[in-house]
Amino acid sequence: MLPELKFGYVGAGAYLPDKVLTNDDLATIVDTDDEWIRRRTGIRERRILAEGESILDMAVGAARAAIADADIDASEITDIRVGVNTWARFPSLATQVQAALGLEGCSAADVSAGCAGFVYAVEEAYNKLYVERIRDHRAGTALIVGVDGLSHITNWQDRSTCVLLGDGAGAVVMREVDSGGILAIRTSAEGRHGQLLYCESALEAQWDPSGPGPFNHATQGVRPYLHMDGRKVYGVAVKTMVEEACGVIDIFNRDNPSPIGVEDIGFVYPHQANLRIIEKVAARLEIPLDRVYTNGIECFGNTSTASIPIGYVDPAARERAAVAGDYEIDVAFGSGFASGAILRQVGSTPTS
């Protein structure tokens, strides 16, 4: 029997660029209008990186806010995991967050899992904290960031995708807690659907037929863009998010003498891809919409791996503040049809 250890969030923070792009702004770029975007997606506006503002700036801003909220010294951090899809370079973003925070030596790595990247990153950090606590008797502290600069891979001529996307970052600090914390996590993927939602590589191995062999060089003049078959993705997103939410409860119930049901869930943070997806997921789970985070999609658009942790600190997230003992679920779905869910319980000192 594995020891029962509790790990949970002790701080949360977010960073959203100041620059706002409204639906009316987009209507000056592509053939669209505010009414279509609101009706089909629920999006009113989104934040976009300004010139000179970077994905690293967002990640570090969210990390600093989470560290301040946790009221810890950054030097206590033993592991940094960054869920990100738009940092197409190396060194990894996590190592650059580490450097910007003035930290040395702690482990740091990026996690690429589409819009489910934050859930995957939390799972990796949780497992590491758990193993190191048992194997090395070391009480660690993890910093987990979800960040994406989707404006970098947006095709501003494609009205079916450019209206959906936004930039942002969210972060949490996670460590051992006395009460509440993470009760179960599950993740899965269906890579065979890769071509329904993808972005090309900026770097491709290219064969030069006139030369002696293949040469790696940057693709000249071609930007990598996000491509999506929105209709096909939509159907699978709803089904998968419902399965993930129910599945994570099942995992918890396996070892639990007092099983819980969907009706016991106090609040859900779904990935903010489209209001209609969120509403359908809530309806299928029979969870009233006032117990589901929706403000992110309306005000920030689809911020991919950042959307769930942004919700943790969004003052408009919920009417009733979290109460100790409440069960909460995070559920995400995205590219690679990678998906996942986290079941958490609010501790005796609820985090923001």
306 touches ligand ACO by CB under 6 A: no
As measured in angstroms, the least distance from the Cβ of 313 to ligand ACO is: 21
Applying CB under 6 A, among 277, 322, 329, 342 the residue interacting with ligand ACO is 277
Which DSSP category does 258 fall into? S
CA dihedral (291, 247, 194, 222) positive or negative: positive
Locus of tokens 């279509």:
36
> Per-residue x/- marks for ligand ACO, 49-78, CB under 6 A?
------------------------------
Residue 317's nearest CA partner among 260, 278, 348, 262 is 278
Burial tier of 89 (Cβ tally within 10 Å: 0-12, 13-18, 19+): exposed
Residue 243's nearest CA partner among 188, 184, 304, 306 is 188
Strand partners, 187: 340
Burial tier of 253 (Cβ tally within 10 Å: 0-12, 13-18, 19+): middle
Q: Identify whether 115 is a catalytic site residue.
A: yes
As measured in angstroms, the least distance from the Cβ of 180 to ligand ACO is: 30
Q: Are 50 and 56 in contact (CB under 8 A)?
A: no
- Closest to ligand ACO by CB, 116 vs 129, is 116
155 touches ligand ACO by CB under 6 A: no
Helix (H, G, I), strand (E, B) or coil at 191: helix
Q: Identify whether 246 is a catalytic site residue.
A: no
Element (H, E) at 142: strand 141-149
Query: Which member of 106, 271, 274, 299 is catalytic?
Result: 271
16 touches ligand ACO by CB under 6 A: no
Two structure tokens written together for 276? 């209609």
Tell which positions 113-132 bind ligand ACO, by CB under 6 A.
Answer: 114-115
Tell which positions 24-43 bind ligand ACO, by CB under 6 A.
Answer: 32, 36-37, 40-41
44 touches ligand ACO by CB under 6 A: no
Query: Which member of 23, 85, 106, 115 is catalytic?
Result: 115
Q: How many chain residues are in contact with ligand ACO, going by CB under 6 A?
A: 23
230 touches ligand ACO by CB under 6 A: yes
Q: Are 106 and 79 in contact (CB under 8 A)?
A: yes
Interface residues with ligand ACO (CB under 6 A) are: 32, 36-37, 40-41, 114-115, 159-160, 163, 197, 230-231, 233-234, 237, 273-274, 277, 302, 304, 334-335
Q: What positions carry a catalytic annotation?
A: 115, 271, 302
